[in-house]
Structure 1
Amino acid sequence: MRVIYQRARELMAANGNPTQWGSTFPRESVVIDDIKRQRMMLLVDTKDGKERILAQFAVCLGEDPTYTHIDGAWLDNDSYVTIHRIASSGLARHAARDCIRWALTHYGNVRADTHPNNKAMQHILESNGFARCGLIQLIDRPTDTTRIAYQRHEW
């Protein structure tokens, strides 16, 4: 799984977004915590009889403290899940889209955020029906904290 996140960091940097994850995010402790809390999800398929990891992401249940304050407005105040740390292995097209669609199918009300320089993720979220709700500020780092907040609620 480290390889997938490393690939994502390199891809973001090459596409004008070098600071969202920098060279160390997500930290190994975050990934281990995701696994222990059973919120790490893997998108897998089978090719030539071998299972492959196409993408990994975290689905976080409950209120995200980062989303308490928004410069804008969420679609609603209903319970939701948050998608964090989507990373594709590069083995298949549309892996991030498939992760998002899985979350929508299983949870219905999904929030996410991304860096203003992450044009690829903005496109993926918006092309999958997410509304741009405003800006949030990350609370777990001292700099580069602004993120664009998104939500889609399957009514």
Structure 2
Amino acid sequence: MTEEEIYAIIPVLFTSFTETFRRHHIGGYIIRREKMQKFEIIKAEEQDLPGILEIYAYARGFMKKTGNAFQWKDSYPPEELVAEDIRAGQLYVIKEKAVIHGVFTFFIGEDPTYARIEQGRWLSDEVYGTIHRVAGDGTVHGILGAAVTFAEQQIRHLRIDTHKDNKVMQHLIKKNGFRECGIIYTGDGSPRIAYEKL
């Protein structure tokens, strides 16, 4: 078996890696690989709304348990906003075997909340894509990584933000190659740590 044939049989869908490397010997080649979770990412549809709201509810509970009780308080994001994201075609679901495990919004173009940044500066003023409202159901790993990989296929320049108390997301954002740039403010005036990836 040639090297090209070996690589052809390795799944190339979005993957997250959840186990220690295992070695497989195929036709004289030793391939190091991990157990792969294959994700499908598509635009959300109206019938997905109940499941998406359940995922956001789980995410709010997880945030509270991990010391972040204020980022998504008062049932954020509200159903009306989620429905609006669906209609706008900027809400995406992350599926594995037809089951929705994650959700995020993504769009390319100027985000009003990023117009002003304090205690730092953006790395670039070129056109960028924004990732917002990332959440998973807690049963699979790699939701943010899958969202970032998907977004990078559309545009390499990305921005994202999170709350100062969301230590879990801060870690994951940096793990996915973003650099901390400063502080931005949401529509209600709440501060967020802003990140950028070129």
For normalisation by structure 2, the TM-score amounts to 0.71
Aligned length: 146
Percentage of matched positions with identical amino acids:
36
In structure 1, the residue matched to 2:110 is 63
Instruction: Give the match's secondary structure for 1:44.
Output: strand
In structure 2, the residue matched to 1:147 is 192
Q: Deviations over 1:95-152 (max 9, x none)?
A: 22211221123221110000000011111110111000000111x215xx01000010
1:8 aligns with 2:56: no
Large movers: runs of 4+ above 6 Å? none
In structure 2, the residue matched to 1:75 is 123
Distance in structure 1 (CA, Å) of the matches to 2:183 and 2:165: 13
Instruction: Give the match's secondary structure for 1:35.
Output: helix
Distance in structure 1 (CA, Å) of the matches to 2:133 and 2:99: 19
Alignment of 1:124-143 (within 5 A): 124-138=172-186, 140-142=187-189
Q: Is contact 1:9–1:23 with CA below 8 Å preserved after alignment?
A: no
Q: Deviations over 1:26-49 (max 9, x none)?
A: 011110110000000111111xxx
Distance in structure 2 (CA, Å) of the matches to 1:118 and 1:23: 17
Mark the runs of 5 or more structure 1 residues left unpaired by the alignment. none
The letter of the residue matching 1:83 is: I
Q: Which has the larger radius of gyration?
A: 2
For normalisation by structure 1, the TM-score amounts to 0.90
Alignment of 1:6-155 (within 5 A): 6-46=57-97, 51-71=98-118, 72-138=120-186, 140-142=187-189, 145-153=190-198
